[in-house]
Structure 1
Amino acid sequence: MEEGPFDSEQSELQWWDRLPSVPAITTLLLRQQNRRRWKPKSLAHMFARFPRLQEVHYEPWREWNFKQGLTDRQYQYLFKSIQRFNGNLKRLVVFENFNQQYPRSMQRFPFGVEVSRRDIIRKPAPAVSRVVALTSLKLEHLAASFIVDASHFFNIEPSWEWPNLASLVLTSKLLEPDKSPTEIGAMLQAAAAVATKMPQLKTMEIWNGRKGVAALFKYQVFHDVQQARIIWRGTWEYIMEPSVVRAWEAFVQQHHGWRLDLTQELLDEAAIKSHGDAIGYLMLSGQVIRPISLQQIRIEQRALKGVGQCQND
């Protein structure tokens, strides 16, 4: 991340801090298509100038290799700053974008970034998931995709509560066909336990998506018909363990006194060409990314597929 017009990071942050407060700004949109790559630390000091900020959409691109660790530490700085300076925030949507074909493309160039196979799939830092969870305690809607993992997010302190949260959308790398059903079940049980701390919860969605893989665990309540429903929608069949079902049934009975319906829908893995396709086929109800950004991801994937075919000819 270049310093831009500033001599150092410190001088940039001091510049932001000297700016006046702007209470008129209540919504901020930083889409994946942007004229510059915003450093999370800079965003923290920018956001602090907006005391009435209520909604943020932030779509950064993921880093590669050692840079990811540095950026994750800056993410922690950003979300801690939001907790301190943006108490009016109600909706936070963070989508860390990526493209599975980029590592191979970068290695074709003399000065490309060396990316090991294990780095192709993003491994969210538990510390980032934890600070995002803390930041969400006063929110009404949180969607955090690929920057966190639900299994880390649900590892909470007993005192944490979300009195206003109505919608929660998270990703988890555990939702893969080759992952342990026991680990998936443990995460979903933890999700049920955390849901008891969210009295206004209407929808919880835990999902994952990449080429050939799409999965969604969705809990939703329907007050008009007094019913709660869990949907598993994915490219493979997942049978929920009885302990998972009992945990969610107990939650629904305790908070609503309703019955819980279970539904499973199977998707064609051949139709999932990217995480963008996964979002479309999973039919997520909570907004995880701006519609134009999703459209661009899917267009880019089709374009890259065409380039790959030309190179193979």
Structure 2
Amino acid sequence: MLGDIVPRCGTLIRWIWLRIEEDRENKFLFTDAVWGLFDILSQLDDDNHPGITLELSAHSPSIVDHYAQELECMINDTAWHTLGGISPPESLNDHHHRWRHGQRRAITYPAALRMVGRPHGLRFDLRAPVAQSMNKTLPRVRVVKALVIRGQCYRHFSIPKALDPIIRNLTQLRDLSYECWKGYSMVEFNLRHIRHRENDMLLYETLRYCRSLRKVSIYEGTSRCNKKLLRPYLTWQRATIGFGSALAKASRNLEELHVSDIAEADDFFRPFLDDDLLKRTTRKMFWWNLKRVSLFAELVPPVSYEDRIQAAGDAACRMPQLRFMELWYCNGQYQCVFTYDIAQHAHDTHKLELRSSWGARLSPATVQAWREAVCGRGPGMELEVRGQGEIFYLPQGRDVMCALVLRGDLLTNTSRRQIRGQHGHSYLRRG
């Protein structure tokens, strides 16, 4: 039916949600659906179309009745509307499926596979009928300008065998928003949902070969209903060392970059952290187009947060278009958010704000590093520093902090609404 509509009304299409209800009975369903859709969209003329957002999701139809009952109130939410309302997961009680007061006390291996799929992820099978009819060549699509994968469905995609070929064949892609799941490293089954190195490869390779990209948002979430089994729900596992530095080089054409966990600010700004002579050439690197950036940073007392924020200020001198930067940290003991922001116009007052759970202060040297970045924008620029020494009671939950506190675009608007609805109130207040 879509194939009949597109030639006549294709210019009216703005958003397509390809929603795969996937089970093991039909192993070719995912491949046929994606390849068939790409074949249809490849017929649209990019020159006469404002652009389409393509959203992908996959889930087993029966999971909301069993071990993923927390999804029942949000699995039908679209990107612009919450259909069934949102209720807190604490109301879930189903002893047969091991639910008690909104927590899954245990989960079997078959149940885990039904929820998240096989460890290698949902992938293309070139033996599928549609792939065979296209000589195993995925059509190129010019009209899709944004790709969205929201976190409300747990089934994950293979990076090398699904997402990578999809992104490579969206030749005019400008916006990538990917909310993947981190948890599922259960001791009992050693089942990993999304591996860090796969995410590293996706992000770096995408930036390297997809020159049309202008915005990248990647967030690794954790289940809010498996606080015992799915670690870490409050803690942070260090990102792959060296990937942040590679990302810094690969992101120089972007206008926005929002990444959590798989790249860390300490690694991203490493050339500005010390006086290593071998890194002087790297310091010549400029991000000419970057306007907004949000990164996870190990901001902990007593002094490590200073080094990172000061290094970010030195790097900001090489970001002439920068209007917003956010560095954040959250675990069970410390929470901290550093923000650089320009309100509306380039001549407005530039603001630094440090919100922390222990009342941190920015030293004169750190403020001076940012003042130099501001003065580099032109004469008469003013810098205002907020939050010095104040104690902020920030949420310990990572999802809650991202939904209620952070202003960067790590999460889609739908995911923000869902998290807010589940928690019902804001944790942010001053001491």
Q: Give the TM-score, by structure 2 length.
A: 0.58
Contact map agreement 1:29 1:58 (CA 8 A) in 2: yes
Please give the secondary structure, in 1, of the residue aligned with 2:244: helix
Q: Which AA in structure 2 matches 1:218?
A: T
- Cα-to-partner distance string for 1:108-132 (whole Å, 9 max, x where unaligned): xxxxxxx6x8995221112332333
Q: Which AA in structure 2 matches 1:52?
A: Q
Q: Which AA in structure 2 matches 1:242?
A: P
Equivalent residue in structure 2 for 1:186, among 299, 307, 324: 307
- Cα-to-partner distance string for 1:210-264 (whole Å, 9 max, x where unaligned): 5575421111124365321101123331011221111111221222331211100
Equivalent residue in structure 2 for 1:158, among 265, 275, 283: 283
Equivalent residue in structure 2 for 1:198, among 299, 313, 319: 319
Report the Cα distance in structure 2 between the residues aligned to 1:5 and 1:143, rounded to whole angstroms.
Answer: 26
Alignment of structure 1 residues 122-133 onto 2, 5 Å: 122-133=237-248
Larger Rg: 2
Report the Cα distance in structure 1 between the residues aligned to 2:136 and 2:198, rounded to whole angstroms.
Answer: 17
- Which deviates further from its counterpart, 216-225 or 84-93? 216-225
Residues 3 and 121 from structure 1, CA distance in 2 versus in 1: closer, same or farther, beyond 3 angstroms? closer
Report the Cα distance in structure 1 between the residues aligned to 2:420 and 2:197, rounded to whole angstroms.
Answer: 30
Q: Which AA in structure 2 matches 1:165?
A: L
Partner residue of 1:267? 392
Partner residue of 1:240? 362
Contact map agreement 2:294 2:326 (CA 8 A) in 1: yes
Partner residue of 2:254? 139
Residues 4 and 261 from structure 1, CA distance in 2 versus in 1: closer, same or farther, beyond 3 angstroms? closer
| Residue 71 (structure 1) aligned with residue 234 (structure 2) | no
Unaligned runs of 5+ in 1: 107-114, 303-313
1:38 shift after superposition: 1.3
Contact map agreement 1:124 1:146 (CA 8 A) in 2: yes
Identity value in percent: 23
Partner residue of 2:402? 279
Report the Cα distance in structure 2 between the residues aligned to 1:230 and 1:215, rounded to whole angstroms.
Answer: 13
Q: Which AA in structure 1 matches 2:410?
A: V
Partner residue of 2:416? 294
Q: Which AA in structure 1 matches 2:293?
A: L
- Cα-to-partner distance string for 1:237-292 (whole Å, 9 max, x where unaligned): 101122111111122122233121110054224xx25223323443x333220122
Residues 73 and 136 from structure 1, CA distance in 2 versus in 1: closer, same or farther, beyond 3 angstroms? same
Contact map agreement 1:17 1:45 (CA 8 A) in 2: no
| Residue 54 (structure 1) aligned with residue 174 (structure 2) | yes
- Which deviates further from its counterpart, 31-40 or 14-23? 14-23
Contact map agreement 2:122 2:158 (CA 8 A) in 1: no
- Cα-to-partner distance string for 1:28-64 (whole Å, 9 max, x where unaligned): 0001123630122231221000110000100111153
Residues 32 and 200 from structure 1, CA distance in 2 versus in 1: closer, same or farther, beyond 3 angstroms? same
Report the Cα distance in structure 2 between the residues aligned to 1:99 and 1:218, rounded to whole angstroms.
Answer: 27
Partner residue of 1:110? none
Equivalent residue in structure 2 for 1:215, among 336, 352, 357: 336
Report the Cα distance in structure 1 between the residues aligned to 2:296 and 2:352, rounded to whole angstroms.
Answer: 17
Partner residue of 1:305? none
1:4 shift after superposition: 4.7
Report the Cα distance in structure 2 between the residues aligned to 1:35 and 1:118, rounded to whole angstroms.
Answer: 16
Report the Cα distance in structure 2 between the residues aligned to 1:220 and 1:5, rounded to whole angstroms.
Answer: 41
Report the Cα distance in structure 2 between the residues aligned to 1:215 and 1:122, rounded to whole angstroms.
Answer: 17
Equivalent residue in structure 1 for 2:226, among 78, 102, 106: 102
Contact map agreement 2:182 2:193 (CA 8 A) in 1: no
Report the Cα distance in structure 2 between the residues aligned to 1:217 and 1:5, rounded to whole angstroms.
Answer: 39
Say how many residue pairs are matched. 282
Equivalent residue in structure 1 for 2:148, among 29, 36, 39: 29
Residues 6 and 281 from structure 1, CA distance in 2 versus in 1: closer, same or farther, beyond 3 angstroms? closer
Alignment of structure 1 residues 13-24 onto 2, 5 Å: 18-24=137-143
| Residue 85 (structure 1) aligned with residue 209 (structure 2) | yes
Report the Cα distance in structure 2 between the residues aligned to 1:166 and 1:90, rounded to whole angstroms.
Answer: 10
Contact map agreement 2:329 2:337 (CA 8 A) in 1: yes
Q: Which AA in structure 2 matches 1:79?
A: L
Please give the secondary structure, in 1, of the residue aligned with 2:263: coil
1:142 shift after superposition: 0.8
Contact map agreement 1:91 1:141 (CA 8 A) in 2: yes
Alignment RMSD: 3.2
- Which deviates further from its counterpart, 47-56 or 142-151? 142-151
Please give the secondary structure, in 2, of the residue aligned with 1:232: strand
Q: Which AA in structure 2 matches 1:237?
A: G
Contact map agreement 1:52 1:88 (CA 8 A) in 2: yes
Report the Cα distance in structure 2 between the residues aligned to 1:273 and 1:241, rounded to whole angstroms.
Answer: 26
Contact map agreement 1:211 1:275 (CA 8 A) in 2: no
Residues 189 and 54 from structure 1, CA distance in 2 versus in 1: closer, same or farther, beyond 3 angstroms? same
Q: Give the TM-score, by structure 1 length.
A: 0.78
